[in-house]
Structure 1
Amino acid sequence: MKDSIIKYCVEKKGATEDYPFGPDPLVFKIAGKMFALLSEEKGDYSSLTLKCDPVIAESLREQHEAVLPGYHMNKEHWNTILMNGSLPVSDVFDMIDHSYDMVVKNLPKRLRESILGTN
């Protein structure tokens, strides 16, 4: 699943990979703003931290044992997903989309338009 998550994140328009905190986690950004953090444990990626609307974040935590408040992040706006195989990859991709969209919508209009190619 790790490779498909990395591929999915970097294929987002304007997305970049970075290691701003050292060798772990792998951070995905749009216009310098984080939208995903993929953390490694014992050589395998074990969790994915994503930005989330606070109401949706709480709902996801109630519905899925693998969705927890964001590790080392603002727990109101970030969720950490344990990559234990309990969530379908399509659900994880939906959460990545939501995180990316949350960050993009808060970018200045001109920057957002230049990234997305809209006017």
Structure 2
Amino acid sequence: MKYPTIHEAALSLKGATHDYKEEWGADRFFIGEKMFAMLGTNKEGRDILTVKVEPNQGEILRSENTAIIPGYYMNKSHWVSVLLDEENNAEFLAKLLAHGYEQVLRKLPKYRQKEIEG
């Protein structure tokens, strides 16, 4: 596991699960059956963390941090990718993962939210 702090941060979120998509070479993180983050590489072979965000939040993040680009192979307004060779602040990445988790959790049916939240 190349980025244990990312795995730990993502899986510390209540009800979060993980799988590995071999065809993509990517670790995927879910809440319910919906993905909120993915850890993999882009076409240049650079390590990236792709996370679900609010559309306006994505624009703000990209304008403030050059390591953040539109979501790689995702909807560019709802996802951002972080170039991990340029941004490796564990606290920032954990907050970004928590934001993505919340975005997806709020879209789940109320009964699923209650199941997950306990």
Question: Which residue of 1 is the match for residue 11 of structure 2?
Answer: 10
Question: Which residue of 1 is the match for residue 76 of structure 2?
Answer: 75
User: Where does the alignment leave 5 or more consecutive residues of structure 2 unmatched?
Assistant: none
- Is contact 1:66-1:87 (8 Å) kept? no
- Using the aligned pairs only, state the percent identity: 34
Q: Match of 1:116, as an amino acid?
A: E
- Is contact 2:27-2:39 (8 Å) kept? yes
Q: TM-score, normalised by structure 2?
A: 0.89
TM-fit CA distance, 1:18 = 1.2
Deviation per residue, 1:57-91 (Å, 9 max, x gap)? 00100010100000000000000001015352211
Q: TM-score, normalised by structure 1?
A: 0.88
1:45 & 1:38 partners in 2: Cα distance? 11
Aligned length: 115
User: Where does the alignment leave 5 or more consecutive residues of structure 1 unmatched?
Assistant: none
Runs of 4 or more above 4 Å deviation: none
Q: Quick one: higher RCO (CA 8 Å, sep 6+), 1 or 2?
A: 2
Give the aligned CA root-mean-square deviation in angstroms: 2.0
2:66 & 2:52 partners in 1: Cα distance? 18
Q: Match of 1:16, as an amino acid?
A: T
